[in-house]
Amino acid sequence: MKQLTRLAILVATLLLCGALAAQTETPKVFDSEEQEARFKDLTLELRCVVCQNQNLADSDAPLAQQLRGEIYDMLQDGKSNEEITGFMVSRYGDFVLYKPPVQANTLVLWAFPIIMLLIGAIVVAFSVRNRGRKLAAAQKKGSA
Amino acid sequence: MIGRLVPVIVFVLLGVLLAFGLRIADHKTEIPSPLIGKPMPPFELPVLGQPDRVLSNEDLVGEPFLVNVWASWCPTCRVEHPYITELARSGAVRVIGFNYKDELSDAQAWLRRFGDPYELTLQDYSGRYAIDLGVYAAPESFLVDADGTIIFKQIGAVTPEIIENEILPRIGK
């Protein structure tokens, strides 16, 4: 019985923690579902500059909260997605974009998967050809 | 023959990639500022402790200056403070304080405790102007030339090496 009470207290405390954490940021009211969807897309695509392996949507850092507020205000002002990402890039650079533009210094990044695919294709082609040759040689031996 | 070399080639390529990664790992968290070479974004900020004295860009330009972003909650700011103080006292460049997201009483207590070398300190309580400057942590320092153009940004503590190798040469000292 005592254990059950303890468990109940633990569960209640944990639930309360969630409520407290959620309260730190005032919920945003959107004009439309379309606007809310754009807010979600933008915050998912933009990197939090404080905790650099998180996006703006996930981060609890105060600066991320503030930047979410800025993005929300810009959406309310009727700014386009390009204007909003432009706002972020002009301050923090291309680094904030999870999808960086294709340009000289990101060429390796974008080309790497294609290069890997090519290398893989070459390796496969070589081994298939080798195997074919070996097989042919073996068959020749067998028939001879 | 070539088939046997493939693992070696892959290994070498991977090695090169990892070596490159290690080389840049030290600076990985530093985001190059797109504001270098651009004019300092327009601001209107009160001087710390003098809410009626609001300054803008025109009040600062004319001579090169270093904007040092600090806060009482920032431990690394204490580390660099002696060097910032030394630089300000040397008279080589004007040093402007930029108090970032801080309570006034905390900021003033911090200056009393560690010394106030700043020509003046701007107060950005909300941190809104810091967003325009691309500040994402403290300390950060911006070197601005006589025309009001940002010519260098230091992310993290200013050290004697940074002063010697990055800041002074850029203002011809």
Residue A42 sits in the same domain as residue A90: yes
Note whether B105 contacts A: Cβ–Cβ < 8 A: no
From first to last of its 144 residues, chain A has per-residue pLDDT tens of: 667 777 777 666 666 655 555 445 778 889 999 999 999 999 998 988 887 778 898 888 889 999 999 999 999 999 999 999 999 999 998 888 888 788 877 888 889 899 999 999 999 999 999 998 888 888 887 765
Domain count, chain A: 2
Task: Report whether pLDDT(B90) > 90.
Answer: yes
Residue A75 sits in the same domain as residue A135: no
Residue A125 sits in the same domain as residue A66: no
Q: CATH number of the domain at A7, please.
A: 1.10.8.640
All residues of chain A having their beta carbon less than 8 Å from the beta carbon of residue B34 are: 89-94
In sign, the C-alpha dihedral spanning A44, A46, A50, A52 is positive
DSSP state of A27: P
Omega of the bond leading into B75 within 30 degrees of 0 (cis): no
- Share of chain A residues as helix, strand and coil, in percent rounded to the nearest 5: 75, 5, 25
Q: How big is the CA angle at B15 (ends B14 and B21), to the nearest 5 degrees?
A: 90
Question: pLDDT tens for residues B3-26?
Answer: 788 889 999 999 998 988 887 766
How far apart are the C-alpha atoms of A59 and A43, rounded to whole Å?
A: 10
ipTM confidence score: 0.78
Note whether B7 contacts A: Cβ–Cβ < 8 A: no
Which residue out of A46, A91, A106 would a mutagenesis test of the B interface target, given it has the greatest number of B Cβ atoms within 10 Å?
Answer: A91
Nearest chain B Cα distance for residue A16, angstroms = 28
Task: Report whether pLDDT(B61) > 70.
Answer: yes
All residues of chain A having their beta carbon less than 8 Å from the beta carbon of residue B128 are: 66
Note whether B131 contacts A: Cβ–Cβ < 8 A: yes
Does residue B35 contact residue B134 with C-beta atoms inside 8 Å?
Answer: yes
Which residue out of B24, B131, B140 would a mutagenesis test of the A interface target, given it has the greatest number of A Cβ atoms within 10 Å?
Answer: B131
Find tokens 């009160």 and name the residue: B46
Reported as a pLDDT band with limits 50, 70 and 90, residue B126 is very high
CATH value of B33-170 in 2.40.50.140, 3.40.50.720, 3.40.30.10, 3.40.50.410:
3.40.30.10
Mean pLDDT of B99-121: 97
Domain with A117 in it: 102-144
Task: Report whether pLDDT(B146) > 90.
Answer: yes
Residue B23: predicted pLDDT: 79
**A and B: number of Cβ contacts within 8 A:** 42
| Greatest CA separation for chain B | 80
Note whether B3 contacts A: Cβ–Cβ < 8 A: yes
Candidate from A58-67, B61-70, B122-131 with smallest mean pLDDT: A58-67
Where do the structural domains in chain B lie, given as residue ranges?
Answer: 1-30, 33-170
Note whether B137 contacts A: Cβ–Cβ < 8 A: yes
Residue A58 sits in the same domain as residue A112: no
Residue A95: predicted pLDDT: 84
pTM given for the model: 0.76
In sign, the C-alpha dihedral spanning A99, A101, A104, A110 is positive
Mean pLDDT of B78-87: 97
Across all residues in chain B, what is the average pLDDT?
Answer: 93
Closest to A63 measured CA to CA, from A50, A46, A78, A80: A50
Q: Do B34 and A62 touch (CB under 8 A)?
A: no
Residue A51 sits in the same domain as residue A26: yes
Alpha helices in B26-150 (DSSP H): 57-60, 75-90, 104-114, 128-132
Does residue A127 contact residue B3 with C-beta atoms inside 8 Å?
Answer: yes
Residue A10 sits in the same domain as residue A45: yes
Residue A87 sits in the same domain as residue A106: no
Task: Report whether pLDDT(B134) > 60.
Answer: yes
